[in-house]
Structure 1
Amino acid sequence: MSSSAGFRRWLMASLMLLAVVAGCRRAPKQITLIPITTGVPLWDAAHAGAVVGAASCGLGVHYNGPARDDDLQGQLTLFDNSRRGEYAGIILVPIQAQALRNPVQRAASAGLPIVVIGEDLGIRRSNVAYFLSDERLGGQMAADEIGALLHGKGAVAIMGLDLNRSSSLERERGFEAELSKSFPGIQVVGRRSGSVNLAQEQQIGQELLSLPVQVDALVALSAASTRGAYFAKLNQADPRPLHIVGFDQDLLMPINTGEIDAIVAMRTRQIGKMAAEAICAGVRGEPMKAGTVVQPLLVTAANIGGAEVADELLDRAWWDERKE
């Protein structure tokens, strides 16, 4: 047997083996969802929605986020690992938009479908989509609720402003613009930046309640500041009527008791579903819609027990377990 014939047989066998290996290499079966943190209603609802959306194209969802909602380095590491892993796409809720912009740009440049929730990173590519809550409208909703609660007169303080998040700034701008336009008899007497530390937020709430002018209402622009406002109210040395309108559905139960008047909630279940469906479109090679803005939902005592709140914001099974 000539050496050339043996080489040809070896070459054919090698090519067949490579074909088998290539055939066994599976396409990615999961989308990864990286929220700001896990274990909270705000983002667990997005997970529930994403599972439904991903199922439309036969994909699952890997849900993993930092243990703390201020762990930026942890989120950067999770994103980098996901970018290098075998995922069909990434859904990201950035802790800090500026810090995540370049990593998202690199991943998108490699062709990976990416959906960003809550912040616009300014990256315009066919495989990058944004799903945003209408934060300015949310601010207007909060102002209208405060106007009704105070009957158009009184003093309000704002807490929880995050200068690093455009969504927080939009909430504040929408609130103050609507308050000035529709309720000139209500004055903003204090503004405070916020943090994710509950003790600090409670202290900020207590400081606002100690201002020389009596504060009739607190508007809390984040989940942490809503909790801070709530605990500041509970710990007043001289309890007096105080209205609270918060943001983000981390603390809903006190609405039933009247200790919180309203929460401007993100429709995160709906957003999660649409985000996963957008990844499915990207997997199919279709252009992903650049941006979608979703109207928030005002949760009050009048609608908290209704189907819309349970269906829009939370997984119903999870919601029913929490009520028991």
Structure 2
Amino acid sequence: MSRAILSAAPPPDLGPAAPPPAAPGGGAAAPEAQPSAWTRRLRRHGGAIRAGLVGAASIALFVLAWHVVTENRMNLYVRFGNVPSPSDVLASADAALGSSQFLTHILTSCRRILYGFALAAALAIPLGLLMGRFKLLREMIFPVSEVLRPIPAIAWVPMAIMLWPSNEESIVFITFLGSFFPILLNTLHGMATVDPVLGRAARCLGASEAAVFREVYLPATLPQIFTGLTVGMGVAWVSLIAAEMISGQFGIGYFTWEAYSLVQYPDIVLGMITIGLLGLASSFAIRLLGRVLMPWSAAR
């Protein structure tokens, strides 16, 4: 009985609640200031800004070191006596950009890369998906691809000239070969990493084989596919430049080799820098496309 009375008794009166702490000077506490839009944007993109600044500083240091060793004609076992300085290359770039011939070389190489790389992606990605899905197809094609893959692109130049009726088609074919195998192997590797339980679950829910490919295998393989596309683009540029140096009449590779034949050293470096910038822009475009198609990967 006494326990029931105690439990039913109201709680003791503890008095009024304590007031919130006052701000210094006796006034009410000010609300916490919210960060501005610029501050929030800076916090969100701080890593990218820092990476850009570090990259710009590293390039500046590289150009400075290049300027020092070439202006002083240093011979540190590697002979820099004949290497043009940054100012010489800048003067060569100014003259080349004022000529339509240099722009023609760039556009020709970009057109060849676009044709060869697009054809390689259009064939290698579906073939890699099918090889990863059907064991018999993989057993038929994989040994042949492994025999052809180690052959360097430059070894294909004589065969390509015999196979195709024009130099333009043979150069595009060599570019295609350079990018085909990295895309194929990465797509095949991506299919091998997909959990088979996902495919069986989709089929149990009534999905057709095409729907399983579209909704399960393709999204799960996209990261490896874009890795293959990035690697394939780099190999495509290597293959293209080698083909243009041997059998081309236009293109940035031909421009670089012609500069060597004419002993125009600043033009050689200009061609090399142009190749690097074009390759960088191509890889950046692929990564940007990957972020658009894989927003979940960008969110991580």
Same fold (TM over 0.5): no
TM range, normalised to the smaller chain?
Answer: under 0.3
Q: Which has the larger radius of gyration?
A: 2
- The structure with the greater share of residues assigned to helix is 2
